[in-house]
Amino acid sequence: MAMLPPPVGDGTPPDLIPRQEGIPRFRPEGRGEFLDKIESAEELMEINMGPQHPSTHGVLRLVLGLDGERVRSCRADIGYLHTGFEKSFESHTYQQCIPLTDRMDYLAPPMNNLGFALAVEELMGLEIPPRGQYIRVIVVELSRIASHLVWLGTHALDLGATTMFMYCWRERDRILDILEWISGVRMMTSFIRVGGLMADVPEEFVPMVRGFTSDFPQRVDEYEGLLTSNPIWRQRTIGLGVISAEDALGFGCSGPTLRGSGVPYDLRRARPYSSYDHFEFEVPIGLNGDVYDRYLIRVREMRESCRIVDQAIQGLPGGPTNTADRKVSLPPRSEIDTSMESLIHHFKLTTEGIRPPPGSLYHAIESPRGELGFLMVSDGGNRPYRCKVRAPSFSNLSALHLMVKDELVADAVAVVGSIDITLGDVDR
């Protein structure tokens, strides 16, 4: 642990309530052994969990090796949702790629838009006006809350707390209403584009977001009242699915899965993008790396996201939302009638698109699941030469076999839920 960076934020662990004694904690020896020899033992019974299983949140097949009720080995079989986005990117112009990115992590589409747009903008050395950056932050933080709400609802549903699902959907719908109001689409918004936004927000946006952020903290209190100190919830989640900080780092875990193990690593803090350095927020970290810690972290992250949205809407600057570079963003409609230059730019942009200079870079943002990175290679043309998506769910899922090892088969569902995978993100 000496090799870890110093804590950021206040460093307070999210476990604010002292834990009850008497709940058995499972700490098996030998965790972290990569190839488990027991996998080849003959007495294990292999069963399939999935690909069609309600608690795999998509199409994931887990081959569990069971010794009675204990999971001794776990092999994840992925690829059922593989769509070849990375190949498709190579035959689409940069702006045409934005709607494709929506479909990867379909629970937080604006995050993917932002990651892709920032990678291209950094390749071109573009600066987005402050208003555009602030609206981007508001939209992605709202989508982070929406994504965490889906996670909380389904995770609780998997463990038998059915009511949570309804409450979470109620709040998520308000966020989707806001997204619909600004972009016309509830989920696959494609609102964040290379060079700025699809359009400036309508005037109803600010009161809608204010209304949401003023109610939302009480809603989180309600959720916590239902779950955080609920003895059944605590018994089912504390000490379960533990992953150590070293293992989480080795497997490239990120997001709440890594922070749950006590590593204070959040890209919004470590490498701020899109003016995240203007806002005050905490990065909650866990102590034990179990399912309960990951739950507490996400719940606190929703509160922090709400704080960020509040600050951003408070300080929302005026001015343009898109870059003034006419080689990137479309000229305003009024200019096209009067300026020959604008007409040419409009024509060139819609027919050919933008052309970043040759080069390559990797840019990552903090999505609800962890580090969402885009490795972008340009050869100077109007299409990405290569665009690799570093999907957080992919790396987080690769550590699953460590977390479910020696747990009960019924608890495997809780562990899969706690790492919050989106299969669209895993398979791409």
Partner 1 sequence: MTLERGQVKITLPPDRLLEAATALRADPGALYQMAICMTCIDWPERELRFDVVYLLRSLVHNDLAWLRVLASETTEVPSLSGLYPGMEWHERECYDLFGIRFTGHPNLTRILLPDDWEGHPLRKDYVSFGEPVAFTHNIEWALSSQDRPEYMPGATRGAVERP
Examine residue 18 and tell whether it contacts partner 1 (CB under 8 A).
no
Q: Closer to partner 1 at the Cβ: 9 or 217?
A: 9
| Minimal distance, residue 412 CB to partner 1, in Å | 19
Does 405 help bind partner 1 (rule: CB under 8 A)? no
Residue ranges of alpha helices (H) inside 282-351 are 291-314, 333-338, 340-351
- Contact between 8 and partner 1 by CB under 8 A: the answer reads no
Specify which residues 331 forms β-bridges with: none
Tokens of 108: 């937080």
Name which of 189 and 257 has its Cβ closer to partner 1: 257
Which is it for the CA torsion 322, 326, 329, 335, positive or negative? Answer: positive
388 belongs to the binding site for partner 1 (CB under 8 A)? yes
Question: C-beta of 32: minimal distance to partner 1 in Å?
Answer: 8
316 part of the interface to partner 1, by CB under 8 A: no
Q: Does 252 bind partner 1 (CB under 8 A)?
A: yes
Question: How many amino acids of this chain bind partner 1 (CB under 8 A)?
Answer: 45
The smaller minimum CB distance to partner 1, of residues 113 and 395, is found at 395
Residue 273 binds partner 1 (CB under 8 A): no
Q: Does 70 bind partner 1 (CB under 8 A)?
A: no
Nearer to partner 1, 234 or 369 (CB): 369
| Least distance to partner 1, CB of residue 375, Å | 6
How do beta strands 386-390 and 370-378 pair?
Answer: antiparallel
Among residues 219, 218, 212, 129, the alpha carbon closest in space to that of 176 is found at 212
Q: What is the DSSP string of 7-47?
A: P-TT---S--SPPPTT------TTTT-SS-GGGG-TTPEEE
Task: Tell me whether residue 53 or residue 388 sits nearer to partner 1 (CB atom).
Answer: 388
User: What whole-number distance in Å separates Cα of residue 320 and Cα of residue 270?
Assistant: 28
> Phi and psi at residue 156, in whole multiples of 5°?
-65, -35
As a whole number of angstroms, the distance between CA 234 and CA 292 comes to 7
User: Contact at 8 Å (CB) between 94 and 349?
Assistant: no
Which CB sits closer to partner 1, 224 or 266? 266
DSSP letters spanning 77-143: E--TT---HHHHHTTS-HHHHHHHHHTTSTTSHHHHHHHHHHHHHHHHT----HHHHHHHHHHHHHH
Q: Does 84 bind partner 1 (CB under 8 A)?
A: yes
> Is the bond preceding residue 51 a cis peptide, omega within 30 degrees?
yes
Q: Which stretch binds partner 1 (CB under 8 A): 153-161, 304-312, 356-364, 416-424?
A: 356-364
Strand partners, 63: 48, 75
**Residue 210 binds to partner 1 (criterion: CB under 8 A):** no
96 scored as a contact of partner 1 (CB under 8 A): no
Q: How far is the CB of 93 from partner 1 (least distance, A)?
A: 10
Residue of 87, 202, 204, 314 that binds partner 1 (CB under 8 A): 87
Tell me which residues in 122-161 interact with partner 1 (CB under 8 A): 122
The window from 171-179, 311-319, 321-329, 372-380 that contacts partner 1 (CB under 8 A) reads 372-380
Return d(Cα 253, Cα 233) in angstroms, integer: 25
Burial class (CB in 10 A: 0-12, 13-18, 19+), 109: buried
Binding track, positions 219-248, relative to partner 1; x by CB under 8 A: ----------------------------x-
- Contact with partner 1 (CB under 8 A): which of 142, 150, 364, 423? 364
Please check whether residue 187 is in contact with residue 109, taking contact to mean a CB–CB distance below 8 angstroms.
yes
- Give the residue, chosen from 7, 13, 99, 250, that forms a contact with partner 1 under the rule CB under 8 A: 250
Distance in Å, CB of 289 to partner 1, minimum: 16
Residues lying near partner 1 in the complex (CB under 8 A): 3-5, 34-35, 78-79, 82, 84, 86-88, 90-91, 122, 247, 249-253, 263, 265, 270-271, 359-362, 364, 371, 373, 375, 377, 383, 385-386, 388, 390, 394-395, 398-399, 427-428
